[in-house]
Every structure is written in C-alpha cells, then in structure tokens.
Structure 1
Amino acid sequence: MSQSPNCVTTPPWWQLVNWIADPIGFQKKYSQKYGDIFSIRLTGIGPFVIIGNPQAIQEIFSKDSQFHIGRANKLAEPLIGKNSLMLMDGDYHRRERKLLTPPFHGEKIQAYAQKIIDVTEEIANRWQIGESFIVRSTMQKVSLEIILQVVFGLSEGKRYKQIKPLLTDWLDMTDSPLRSSMLFFKFLQKDWGKWTPWGRMKQIHNKIYNLLQAEIEEKRTKIDNTGKDILSLMMAVRDEDGQAMSDAELKDELITILFAGHETTATTLSWAFYEIYRNPDVIEKLQREFYCLGENPSPMEIAKLPYLTAVCQETLRMYPVIPVTFPRIAKSPIKIAGYQFDAETTFMPSIYLVHYQEDLYPEPEQFKPQRFLERQYSPSEFFPFGGGSRRCLGYALALLEMKLVLATVISKYQLALAEDKPVKIQRRGFTLAPTGGVKVVMKGKS
C-alpha cells in the first residue's frame, strides 16, 4: 500500500466552494474516483483526510486519546463560545463531559417525555384541515419549545417571550449555502454593526447571552432550586473538587445544546415525515404498531417500539444532519488503515460515505427501516451521532424526541405530502436540511 492516500487535485479555493455548496455531492464524486480514503484541501481551513472506511473509522474511534478533537472544531467557536464541550480536549473535556452527562441519561430523560408529547400536541392542534404547511418550520417550533422548557426551564414570562424569537433569528441567519459561507470564510467574519450579517449575528448572540445570564442569576437566588430542567441540573452538579460550572461555561454549553439539538432534531424529523408519507407501507406498519399499544400508552412504551425505532434509525442513516463527524488532529505520527500519517494530520470520518456503502446497506438510496430489524450495526458502521469519546451527549434525548413527536402526529393527525417531487438536500450552516422544508397538507384527525 502507498504511503499516503490520493489527494483531490482541484484548486483548494474551488474545493472549499464545492464543500460549502454540496458536501454530499463532493464526497460522492471523489470517493468514486479515489476510494473511501482520500485527502482534500479547503482554503483557509486546511487539509483533511476524508475516511469512509468503517474499519479505519473504528481504528480512529478507538484511538481518540491520540487526537486533538476540540482544537479541530475551532471553526464553530464564534457560534458556540470557547467554553463549549465541543472545543475542549484532555482533562478539561473529561471533567466537563462528566458534569454534563447526568442530565441527559436514565430517569432524567424519562421525566421529559410527557412534556415532549404535550408540546407536540399543542402545536399540532393549530393545524387546519385542508391547509398546507412546511414541516421543517413546524418541527423547529416544536424543537425550540422543547429546548426552552426541558433545557432552559422556560415556558412563560418576559424572558421566555424575549429569547424565543432571538433564537429563531440567530439560527435562520445561516439558512442557505450562501448565508452559511460566513462560517467558513474568515474575511466575512467582520463586525461592522447590525447592517452586516456577521455584525447582526453577534448582536443577537450577545442578547441571547444576556438573557441566559439573567436566567442563571435568577435560578441561583432561589433558595429551593429543585428545578427539573437541564439548566438547573447543570448548575447543581459538582466536579471531584466540589467545583460547579462557571456562568461562562453554563452559557456556552446551553448555546451548544441549542445549536446541536434544535437544528438537528427539527431537520431529522422533517426527513422522517418526508419518507414516511412517501411510503404507504411504512405509515401502515407504524399505525399498526401504535394500535397494538392500546389506549393511552406511556411515553416509554412508545419509545420502545421496534419498527418506530427502525424508522428513526433509517432516517438518520439516509439523512445525516452533518456529513462528517468531528475532525481529529493527530498528536503524533500515526498509522491508520495501513497508511502512515504525520503529526497534525486532520481526519474527518464521513458519516455519509459509510451510511451509503452498498455492502453494509443494500440499495442505500431506498428507505428501508426493516434493515435495522434484520441486522445489528457496529458503532463504526452506523454513527449518526458521532463516535468514540465524542458521541453526542444528547443522543438519547434526541431519539426520544423523534419517536414521541412522530408517534403523536401519526397516531392523531392525517397528513400527506403536498408536492409529488423529490426533496433535495441543502446546506444550512454546518448542517444539511431539506430544500423547501417539506410541504405537507392536513387531511384530517384520527
């Protein structure tokens, strides 16, 4: 085997333009030409080795201690702040992850289940028979409301009314490939006041931080701070030295949760509805599964349904919200998949390339939830939430939200796609979303 993988030879500035415009098409094109491991160069960001080989990805995930991962995510710092878990490495990362884990697992997650159903019903009840609407916009409302109530502990009051439109405006500022460009080109990151995109983004960001600071301070003044929301739980945890998270850490982690949880869940739900209503057999199987639960099943009974779980998994396989996992920078020379790489080489495991491998997923362009009932996939064959030491902390909450929103809508409302045409993938910030947001029409109530 040669000492280094093939390298894409087009000019780096052109590679960056294509990576921003169509990262899926970019990977597809060059993996067909060079195989499942190849190098790219993106102007201003650097060279990367794209890895679309499950065995090589397993090697990388098992050697996470040999990489700088937080440093490789610097591109996201202007959005999520330098105190975000995503930007940390080493002991600091281990400490923060340990502090953040309890609110996202076990009984804590189950406590949020009914709230997810209530929020979904409240928003879905506004739909009118015969009217069409954009699924993604509606799912954004559902997802944002869940984050405000479950994570921030806000459901009413002045601060709730102020922060809600600000969060929506902030996330909508990168809703197309062109508007997303400012995240990749440093020269566009100039704050010349609210008349420039970056200036407006920073202005909204600061307003959100001020509101979060006020919320943290108010929670701290309450003597009996027994809030069940994630922010309250984050404020209550202590590390081994008895230290709590600082206000700066709390705010950056809240913004990270918002950024990583709100956009991604709303997008994945949009794709799920798109595929479910395109495939009559899928909706029939889901309805049969819901019917077998009887009247008023508990949220956790719904969450355990095998076919519903498979539908969520197949959606996440076909439509990864980000095309690659967190980049990893080698601390020292390293051997991966038989290739020898220098220190400071940056690897990007490709979710998309693995999720569309024919030998793993026959007919990968087809929506087939059944494949997840017939086969168990390893963490390097199916990894929509990333892998290794960087698997998304909120994955259990995200999956629970997906399942409960889908079950609530499908069992109580009759929807249909409003347009009989394929929906394309479009960049939205660092994520990928359905172009047009998936339009559906309300046919009736069950």
Structure 2
Amino acid sequence: MNTLPPGPEHLGLIDTLRSSFGSPASVIRRLAAEHGDPFRVGTLNGPITFLGNPAAIRAIYTADPETFEPFGVDVTEPIFGRTSVVVSTGPRHRRDRKLLGAPFAPAAAKSYAAVVAEVAREAASQWMPCQPFSMLETTQAIALDVVIRVVFGVNGEARIRFVRAAVLDLIHAMNPLILVMPAIRRPLGGFGPWARMLRARAALDALLIEEIRALRASVEDRSDVLGLMLKARYEGGEGLSEQEVLDQLRALLFAGHETTAVTLAWAFYWLHREPDTLARVLAELDALGPDASLDKLLGLPYLEAVCLETLRIVPPVVNVGRVPRKPFALLDYIIPPGEALIPSPLLVHVREDLYPEPERFRPTRFLEREFSPFEFIPFGGGSRRCLGATLAMLEMKVVLAIVLREYQLRLASTAPMEHVQRGITMGPQGRVPMMLEGRRVQRRPRAGGACLARVSAIR
C-alpha cells in the first residue's frame, strides 16, 4: 500500500492566490487531471488531500465520526465560535445535532414556507419595470430576512430593521483577511479589522440576548428555530446555555445566509440563460394554476431538479474537510493524523461517468437517476451533513416558484459569470444584473426584451 496520494509538494503562489481569492475550480481540476484522484498538495494550512472519487468519499462519510476533527476550526472561529454544531466534536457534537434536529426537521421546515413566500414577494415588489437590478443583492436580502424571521424569530418591522442593520454590520466587518491570517487578530487599541469585527459581533449578540431572555421569560409557544432551540432539552433535562445559543445562532446565520443567497442568484442566472429550461419550469408552475398551495409548489419535481442542478454545477461550499486523529486508510493510501481530507464537490460533481456533459446546466439528470450521498455532496455528508439542508431546499424552491410565476425577468447582461471564492463560500463574480420586464401574464416569456437595457451601472 502506498503511503501518500501523489501530488505537488507545494501549491505555487499564483495557484494559492487563485484558490483563496479567485476561482479554485480550475486549480483543483487541473491537479486532479495531472496527479489523479485523490491527490495531495502542500498548502499554507499544511498538506491537504482533495478527493472526488465516490469510493473515497464513502470511506470518509461512513467512518466512525470519532476518527476525525473538523478542518479549519481556528480559521472559522470568528464566525462559528467554539461551541456551535459546525465545529464541535465527539459526544458534544452528537448531542447538539440531536438537540437541534427538531427545528430543522421536514415538518418544521415546511411550517416556514409562508414566511419565505412573504419575504420573497416583499423583495420583488422593490423592482422597477425596465430598470436593471442586482439579483444577488435581492437574494441576499431575502436570505437575510428569512434568517432574521425564521431562525432568530424576530417580529415587527422596526425590530427587524434594527436586527438587519446589526447583522449587515457584522457581515461587512468580517474581513476575509481575518479568516486567512489569524495573526492579525489583535485589538490594536480599538482600530483595525479585528476590533471592528469584535464590536459588530458584540452589538449583534446584545440584540440576540434580548431576544433569548425575552423568550425565556414569556409563555409564548413559538415555532421559529430559536423558539424550538430554547425548548429543546438534553437527556439530562438541561438546555443550551446563553453563550451556546449565541454560537449556534451565529453559525446558522453564516452557514445559511450567504450559501442560500448565492445559490438562488445562480439559479435565476442559469434559468434565464437556458430558455428551454425556463419554459419547462414555467409550464410546471402554470399547470398548478394561480391559486396553488405552497405544499403543491414544494412538490414540483422539475423545480426541485433545477435547485439540485444549481447546487451541482456551482456549489456554494467546497472546502468542508476532516482531519484524522490517527492514520486513516483511504483507498490505497494512508493519510497521516493531522492532515486534512477534503471531499470536493468541485471534483465529484463534474465526473463524466456520473454527470455526462458536466459543464452543461441540465436539471433533467436529476429526474433520470438518483445520486448517492457520495456522488452529490453540496451539503457535505456523513455525521456532519448540513443540518439546514431541508430548510435551504425549501427556501430555494419557494423563492423561485413565487418569483418566476409572478414576474417576467431577463438577464441584463449575457456575459458569462465566473464561480469565485467569496470568503468562506463561493458565488458569482458580479452582482448578477437582471431586468424586470413586468408582471407575468403569459405562460412563456416573450422572445424579445420589452425594455431598453440600461445595465452599465450594475455590471
């Protein structure tokens, strides 16, 4: 048995910069083509083995969870803290996943659909006919308000605006350099990116503490995620501490806001680049009639396939890894303890044997066959699969259904959109400029645009 997978000893400077701040897909796929899958490469974070081989992914996702530590805990600590389910390990991780299962179970997620639809309609009502707008900014606003209302449980427009401002302050204060360069995490007398982030985090935490304490002091039976989280109890009868709740809420904010926003923006982009695909979605929506319930919209198979294909071709999270605690057998190799393993959707999602014509946006592939949890991994897998996957899928389907059947849109720019690194997520390079042509009254969009393209301001 070979000791280590093949690969370069060091990742070059250009490839390091491209992977960290640009588009890592071309780097990862080139190295896999040159060295095989899996391959091992030296990086600033130590040697990492990347893999897109379903057999290797199976070996990781089905291993005893105690085999691994999560990858990059020190890097993401400003976002996820030290107690959230995203980074916890061992018995704590298992008990927290069990505790947090109820707020994200399918029945609970479905109860949030009406709120998601309301948020989507509010956002779309801001568009002006024949005026270009940024679809990415729209989907970010939708995803943020869904987190505030569905996860945090904040009610009342004034309070929502207050919390929204605090969340945006923290998001804007999360300088990427804080993540990739822990050495700069210094107060510096209250100046600099670390100090700004700490102030923004403290301000949001103060608002969330108010929500937590008010809810604990009330007798209100709430079904939002925070309400269900505070009601949940471990087997010994105790619940989460205030700090633990804060860490979980912040983790849910960052794990569920930008990821859903960029995926939705991509879905609108791809649908409006592929008129036949858009026409089929609209036909499926129209067949239900204008008064279709949200339950029926959520059950549409082609609409779901569009969401899955978007997650396949442009996955929002690509570097979720495991670090073995002891030597780990991976196919014909032995991975040393402390070296990261990354099951990469950038590799497995473009395998020709699984996804013919992988660069083509073709949702029907998800109607033609079912992919295993080792072949399709946008939400990770195994014991660390994303808890919010069901809610994310519901949010995508509801927003797409509401917007597509009520509004006629088109891309304001036909330029190709690159899939690039955006902090801890990947998303479109640019704002995804689109144009509202009007309320939709036809079953199919018009072949030509009804508006003059005024797009230079948002490119």
- TM-score of the two chains, using structure 1 as the length reference: 0.95
Secondary structure of 2:4's counterpart equals coil
Q: Could you tell which deviates more after superposition, 391-400 or 288-297?
A: 288-297
Q: Distance in 2 between matches of 1:6 and 1:15?
A: 18
Percent identity, aligned pairs only? 37
- The answer to whether the 8 A contact 1:73-1:86 is kept is no
Letter in 2 for 1:339: Y
Q: Name the residue aligned to 2:456.
A: none
Structure 2 counterparts to residues 355-374 of structure 1, below 5 A: 355-374=349-368
Match of 2:346 among 333, 352, 362: 352
Q: Distance in 2 between matches of 1:438 and 1:99?
A: 38
Letter in 1 for 2:29: K
Match of 2:241 among 216, 239, 246: 246
Q: Distance in 1 between matches of 2:29 and 2:130?
A: 40
Q: Distance in 2 between matches of 1:370 and 1:301?
A: 20
Per-residue deviation, 1:31: 1.1
Letter in 1 for 2:20: I
- Aligned-residue RMSD, C-alpha: 1.7
Q: Is 1:85 matched up with 2:85?
A: yes
Q: Distance in 2 between matches of 1:71 and 1:323?
A: 12
Per-residue deviation, 1:277: 0.4
Per-residue deviation, 1:3: 2.5
Letter in 2 for 1:166: A
Q: Is 1:189 matched up with 2:185?
A: yes
Q: Name the residue aligned to 2:43.
A: 42
Q: Distance in 2 between matches of 1:339 and 1:397?
A: 37
Secondary structure of 2:283's counterpart equals helix
Secondary structure of 1:206's counterpart equals helix
Q: Distance in 2 between matches of 1:351 and 1:74?
A: 23
Q: Is 1:198 matched up with 2:194?
A: yes
- The answer to whether the 8 A contact 1:159-1:211 is kept is no
Structure 2 counterparts to residues 42-121 of structure 1, below 5 A: 42-43=43-44, 45-70=45-70, 72-121=72-121
Deviations 1:369-400 (A, max 9, x none): 01111111000100100000011001000000
Task: Tell me: CA distance 1:373–1:91, structure 2 relative to 1, closer, same or farther (3 Å).
Answer: same
Q: Is 1:233 matched up with 2:234?
A: no
Per-residue deviation, 1:155: 2.9
Per-residue deviation, 1:319: 0.6
- TM-score of the two chains, using structure 2 as the length reference: 0.92
Structure 2 counterparts to residues 275-314 of structure 1, below 5 A: 275-314=270-309
Per-residue deviation, 1:14: 6.0
Letter in 2 for 1:37: P
Per-residue deviation, 1:15: 5.5
- The answer to whether the 8 A contact 1:327-1:349 is kept is yes
Deviations 1:173-200 (A, max 9, x none): 45xxxx5233111223223256422221
Q: Is 1:439 matched up with 2:424?
A: no
Q: Distance in 1 between matches of 2:230 and 2:422?
A: 32
Per-residue deviation, 1:17: 3.0
Secondary structure of 2:430's counterpart equals helix
Task: Tell me: CA distance 1:211–1:40, structure 2 relative to 1, closer, same or farther (3 Å).
Answer: same
Deviations 1:182-231 (A, max 9, x none): 31112232232564222212211111111111111111111x13012110
Deviations 1:264-310 (A, max 9, x none): 00000000000000010011101110111123111121111010010
Q: Is 1:403 matched up with 2:404?
A: no
Task: Tell me: CA distance 1:40–1:193, structure 2 relative to 1, closer, same or farther (3 Å).
Answer: farther
Q: Name the residue aligned to 2:451.
A: none
- The answer to whether the 8 A contact 1:13-1:42 is kept is no
Task: Tell me: CA distance 1:12–1:185, structure 2 relative to 1, closer, same or farther (3 Å).
Answer: farther
Secondary structure of 2:86's counterpart equals helix
Deviations 1:21-42 (A, max 9, x none): 2322221221121111111222
Q: Distance in 2 between matches of 1:342 and 1:151?
A: 39
Q: Could you tell which deviates more after superposition, 115-124 or 149-158?
A: 149-158
Task: Tell me: CA distance 1:148–1:168, structure 2 relative to 1, closer, same or farther (3 Å).
Answer: same
Letter in 2 for 1:189: R
Q: Is 1:26 matched up with 2:27?
A: yes
Q: Distance in 2 between matches of 1:35 and 1:212?
A: 47
Task: Tell me: CA distance 1:10–1:338, structure 2 relative to 1, closer, same or farther (3 Å).
Answer: closer
Q: Is 1:132 matched up with 2:132?
A: yes
Q: Distance in 1 between matches of 2:305 and 2:232?
A: 34
Per-residue deviation, 1:408: 0.5
Letter in 2 for 1:41: G
Q: Could you tell which deviates more after superposition, 61-70 or 433-442?
A: 61-70
Q: Is 1:341 matched up with 2:331?
A: no
Secondary structure of 2:188's counterpart equals coil
Q: Name the residue aligned to 2:452.
A: none
Q: Name the residue aligned to 1:417.
A: 411
Deviations 1:73-117 (A, max 9, x none): 332112121111111111100110111000111321111111111
Q: Distance in 2 between matches of 1:252 and 1:314?
A: 32
Q: Name the residue aligned to 1:382.
A: 376
- The answer to whether the 8 A contact 2:267-2:310 is kept is yes
Letter in 1 for 2:407: Y
Letter in 2 for 1:293: L
Deviations 1:420-444 (A, max 9, x none): 1101122111101111120000001
Secondary structure of 2:436's counterpart equals strand
Q: Could you tell which deviates more after superposition, 326-335 or 85-94?
A: 326-335
- The answer to whether the 8 A contact 2:412-2:434 is kept is yes
Q: Could you tell which deviates more after superposition, 404-413 or 423-432?
A: 423-432
Task: Tell me: CA distance 1:64–1:180, structure 2 relative to 1, closer, same or farther (3 Å).
Answer: farther
Letter in 1 for 2:297: I
Secondary structure of 2:56's counterpart equals helix
Deviations 1:127-151 (A, max 9, x none): 1111110011011111111111111
Q: Distance in 2 between matches of 1:313 and 1:121?
A: 23
Per-residue deviation, 1:156: 1.8
Structure 2 counterparts to residues 143-158 of structure 1, below 5 A: 143-156=143-156
